[in-house]
Amino acid sequence: MILAATSTAVNDSGFQPYWYLILGALLFSIGAVGLLVRRNPLVMLMCVELMLNAVNLTFVTFGTMLNDIGGQVIVFFVLVVAAAEVVVGLGIIVAVMRRRPDATADDISALRG
């Protein structure tokens, strides 16, 4: 598994780095649809995680394709920020759910025009 995934290995064994990109795109769309369709706030949070992971994968792939360590560095930071985001998001969910245990994403509509 620790095969060098450098650009020189691209042309043999029929494997192409851009397949990662396609996988990333699929993962991202699934996450996006899931975010729009599900109402349970925790599941929505998980869909956001899916999207973030898709993006991470894409970044690493581009780093590989461009022979740049910067792709992985960015992913590192994305990971950190995603963690912080989940922490805050869960805090919000806890605060909301405490009052109304059966709240869903549709119930917070006080800003309607």
Partner 1 sequence: MVSLVWLIPALPLLGFLLLLAVGPRLGEPIAGWLATAMVAGSFVVSVLAFIGLHSQPDHTTTFTLFTWIPAGRFNVDVGFLLDPLSSAMILFITGVGALIHLYSIGYMHGDKKFSKFFLYLNLFVFSMLLLVLGDNLLLTFVGWEGVGTCSYLLISFWFEKPANASAGKKAFVTNRVGDWGFMVGIFITWFTFGTIQYTQFIPVSPGAATTTATIISLMLFIGAVGKSAQIPLYLWLPDAMAGPTPVSALIHAATMVTAGVYVMVRINPMLHAASPWLPTLIAWVGVITALFAATIAMAQTDIKKVLAYSTVSQLGYMFLAVGVGGYWVAIFHMITHAFFKALLFLGAGSVIHGMDDEQDLRRMGGLRKLMPITAATFIVGWLAIAGVPPFSGFWSKDEILTYAFHQNIALYLVGLFTALLTAFYMSRQVFLVFYGKARWNDPAEPSTHEAHSDAEAAAEGAEAGAAAVATAVDAGEHHEIHPHESPWTMWVPLVVLAVFAAIAGFINLPFADSTKYLENWLEPVTGRYGAVVDYSNGTIVALLTISTIVALSGIGVAFLVYRRRKLPAAWFEPPLFLQGWHYDAAVSAFMGGPGRAGFNALSWFDRTIIDGAVNGIGALARDTGSIVRRTQSGLVRTYALAVTIGAVLLMLFVLTRVNW
Partner 2 sequence: MEAAVFIVCAVIVLAGAFGVVLSRNPVHSALSLVATLFGIAVLFLNQDAQLLAVVQVIVYTGAIVVLILFVLMLLGVDRDDDLDEDPIVGQRVLAILAGLALLGGLLAVFIAGKNEVATGQHSATAAIRTDLSNIAQLGRQIFTTWIFAFEITAGLLTVAVIGAVVMARRPDSYEPLPEPADMDDDGRYVDPADENESGSAEVGA
Contact residues for partner 1, defined by CB under 8 A: 32, 35-36, 39, 105-106, 108-113
CB of 110 to partner 1, least distance (A): 6
The three-class DSSP label of residue 17 is coil
Give the closest residue to 47 by CA, choosing from 27, 23, 61. Answer: 27
Q: Which residues contact 58 (CB under 8 A, 6 or more apart)?
A: 20, 21, 24, 25
Binding mask 26-55 for partner 2 (x = CB under 8 A): xxxxxxxxx-xxxxxxxx-xxx-xx--x--
Beta strand residue intervals within the chain, DSSP E: none
Binding mask 51-90 for partner 2 (x = CB under 8 A): --x--xx--xxxxxxxxxxx-xx-xxx-xxxxxxxxxx-x
Please choose which of partner 1, partner 2, none residue 8 contacts, taking the beta carbon within 5 to 8 angstroms, the exact cut-off set by kind: none
Shorter beta-carbon distance to partner 1: residue 101 or 113: 113
Determine, following the binding rule CB under 8 A, whether residue 111 of this chain makes contact with partner 2: no
Q: How far apart are CA 27 and CA 20, in angstroms?
A: 10
